[in-house]
Amino acid sequence: MAAPRRRIRLRGDAIRAPTERARRRRQACLREPIIGIPRRRRRGPDRGDGIRHWPRQDHPREPTDDGGRADPRRRAGDRHHRRPTRHIGALVPRAVRGDEVTAPDIVLVGLGNPGDEYQGTRHNLGYEVVDLLTSRHSRRTPYMKHRAWLMPVEIGGRDVLLVKPLTFMNSSGHSVREVLDACDLAPEAAWIVVDDYNIPLGALRIRLRGSDGGHNGIASVIESLSTREFPRFRLGIGSAPGRMPTIKYVLGRFRREEKKEAEALVAHAADAVAYAARDGLTQAMSRFNRTLAVEPD
């Protein structure tokens, strides 16, 4: 029997009624779409056919009563189940888990701005000191809580919580206040590491208290803590040249001839923090306040 010839529709020819398959497809496409996703590319648990389609990475996990540990009966390669992650409470370090454990001795806060566009700028020296201390004293993965990047370490025999606020420089105090409240610590326990354009490049100044010195990050911390009585490590970045606006200068990156001094200053400040944690802030002031990160030739 010869195969039926395909019908070619000419202009003016009558349009045939849609098949059942085409009708179902059209009804599925006309249903309410997921916001931001085209109808025909729609994905998710409901594709309009009454079947719940879960991609592997979005497969719902059954609740567990063992703190989130995996069921040993589930195979690692089982395509119908994701391997459950650890309970979030197990990821919170001892420093901020409430009344269960002792709070850290020191909360070291490096001020800066989050984001790749601010990485390497003069205003982010506080971040760089915290990053260096993390690489020296910890191999763990940091976590985020209280609108900040947190890492518990031990420096000089004391428990230290390294903090990088993620609220941007001008609102740093909100995050610092939340961390101190969670740890039930007084403002004096917060050591602030910050850049300072009133100090020559390469110089470090440790102070037990004081005003904001025109720094918006320190001003935010003072406002949130309602006190000026907290230590700070001030890293000199030098003043803006000529008529350059200060905001443009501090948000700019170091020039090629300044990078060596800036890197040495970060290492110098990290050494000062470790020394202060071990021997006290007063001893650290006597040793580091009169030295430069890079001595002149």
123 is catalytic: yes
Q: Within the chain, where are the H helices?
A: 20-30, 88-91, 125-137, 172-183, 216-225, 246-250, 259-279, 281-288
- So what's the pLDDT on residue 211? 93
Report d(CA 296, CA 187) in Å as an integer. 37
In a domain, 209, yes or no: yes
Within a domain: 148: yes
Answer yes or no: is 251 within a domain. yes
* CB neighbour class for 175 (10 Å; exposed up to 12, middle 13-18, buried from 19): buried
Residue 195 sits in a domain of what CATH number?
Answer: 3.40.50.1470
Q: How many domains does the chain have?
A: 1
Could you give the maximum distance between any two Cα atoms of the chain, in Å?
Answer: 104
On whether residue 1 sits in a domain, the answer given is no
Counting DSSP H helices and E strands in the chain, the numbers are 8, 7
Beta strands in the chain (DSSP E): 106-110, 143-145, 148-155, 158-165, 190-196, 204-207, 232-236
> Which residue type does 10 have?
L
Look at residue 80 in the predicted model and tell me its pLDDT.
Answer: 45
Residue 265 lies in a domain: yes
* Residue in 53, 80, 123, 137 annotated catalytic: 123
Burial class (CB in 10 A: 0-12, 13-18, 19+), 75: exposed
In a domain, 24, yes or no: no
Long-range contacts of 49-54 (CB under 8 A, 24+ apart): none
- Whether the pTM exceeds 0.75: the reply is no
pLDDT of residue 39: 44
Task: Give the separation between CA 76 and CA 98, rounded to whole angstroms.
Answer: 34
Look at residue 20 in the predicted model and tell me its pLDDT.
Answer: 77
Res 90: pLDDT: 40
Which pLDDT value is given to residue 1?
A: 57
CA pair distance 25, 49, nearest whole angstrom: 9
On whether residue 60 sits in a domain, the answer given is no
Q: For 197-228, write each residue's pLDDT tens digit.
A: 999 999 999 999 999 999 999 999 999 999 99
Q: What is the pLDDT of residue 141?
A: 84
* Residue numbers of the chain with a pLDDT score lower than 70: 1-18, 25-102, 291, 293-297
Range of the domain at 220: 105-288
Q: In what order do the strands lie in the sheet with 190-196?
A: 143-145, 148-155, 158-165, 106-110, 190-196, 232-236, 204-207
Per-residue pLDDT at 291: 66
User: Would you report the helix, strand and coil content of the chain in percent, each value rounded to 5?
Assistant: 35, 15, 45
In a domain, 141, yes or no: yes
Backbone angles phi, psi at 7, to 5 degrees: -80, 125
Structure tokens at 29: 């496409």
